[in-house]
Amino acid sequence: MTAINHAITGSIIGLTISNPFIAVPLAFISHYFLDLIPHYGTKQDNDKFIKSKYFKTFLCVDILLCIILAIVLFIIKPTSYLIVILCAFIATSPDLVNLKKFILINQNKNYKPGLLYRMSAFIQWFEKPIGLIVEIAWFLASGFILVELLLK
């Protein structure tokens, strides 16, 4: 799923579970649960797509939304900020395995998928453009829950 959806889910975990020893591992596991749900994407190994302006713009918007989320969390929940932002980061972090691929392909270098990458590709069994509907639905539903939690 998109980074923002992982980050919102992680924030909800951080806001609802006060014990960090439960919240942090749960945030990590949440990543793979979300990736099991059919979501947005295209063919994982399409090098041309990874180099495209469209993909880079999509990535920038996704990262920008995460930065906005981090700022909003800091402003509204400064006292529990550390655990909430940690959970948001941990929930998003498994996607960092894609960073190496992104950099190498954009340098026109060969990318050999490692075990972690192959595992995450296996879990994401359904990654198609139509999955954008699921992403938007998740964004709205989890965003609504997050706002409720932040305002109480």
Contact string (CB under 5 A) for Zn ion, positions 85-124, x = contact: ----------x-----------------------------
In total, the chain counts a number of residues equal to 152
Binding piece for Zn ion, criterion CB under 5 A, among 8-16, 21-29, 31-39, 67-75: 31-39
CA gap 13, 49 in Å, rounded: 33
Residue 35 binding Zn ion, by CB under 5 A: yes
C-alpha distance from residue 7 to each of 38, 43, 62 (Å): 18, 23, 10
**Contact positions with Zn ion (CB under 5 A) in 40-79:** none
Residue 135 binding Zn ion, by CB under 5 A: no
CA gap 136, 5 in Å, rounded: 9
- In angstroms, give the least distance from the CB of 80 to Zn ion: 25
- In angstroms, give the least distance from the CB of 18 to Zn ion: 26
φ/ψ of residue 31, rounded to 5: -55, -45
CB 149 within 8 A of CB 142: no
Coil vs helix vs strand at 26: helix
- In angstroms, give the least distance from the CB of 106 to Zn ion: 19
Of 81 and 127, the one with the shorter C-beta distance to Zn ion is 127
Binding stretches for Zn ion (CB under 5 A)? 35, 95
